[in-house]
Amino acid sequence: MLHLPQNNELNAIRQTIQVYVDGLQNGDVNLLRTAFHPKAMMYSMTGNEEMAVEIEGLYAFAAGHDSPSKTGEPHNCVITHIHYTGNVANVEMMQEACFGSDYMNYFQLLKTGGKWTIVSKTYTGEQSKK
């Protein structure tokens, strides 16, 4: 089987995003922390509500709510686009039925110390119809 360096990088990027997904699915804040840079930020614009918060806000939210694995929500995530050049990457991901909402996420990642890490997350969401 032909293995190109690009495939290795794409798989490593996907694995970082999967850590995010698994962390939210199970409410595992320690796992979530491994996907994000310690100084990561989150931004969103939902309706007229703008938000900019340090990543600790995501950890607090996940810790303070029952996870999809506990509530039985049909949490589903699909990566719709990955673009990377060198040590920077962008990932677009649809996320359905997570904590009562559906989201469109845009992650920005850096590869530092040989590891892909999410440095920012920009998203929009709406109440889940499921």
Separation CA 111–CA 121 (nearest Å):
16
Supply the pTM of this predicted model: 0.90
Does residue 86 come out as left (phi exceeding 0), alpha (psi in the -120 to 50 range) or beta?
left
Q: And the tokens for 41?
A: 């930020």
Which residues of the chain are modeled with pLDDT < 70?
1-5, 130
Amino acid sitting at position 107: F
pLDDT at 125: 79
Q: Output the pLDDT for position 100.
A: 74
pLDDT, residue 97, reads: 80
Q: Residue 130: its pLDDT value, please?
A: 56
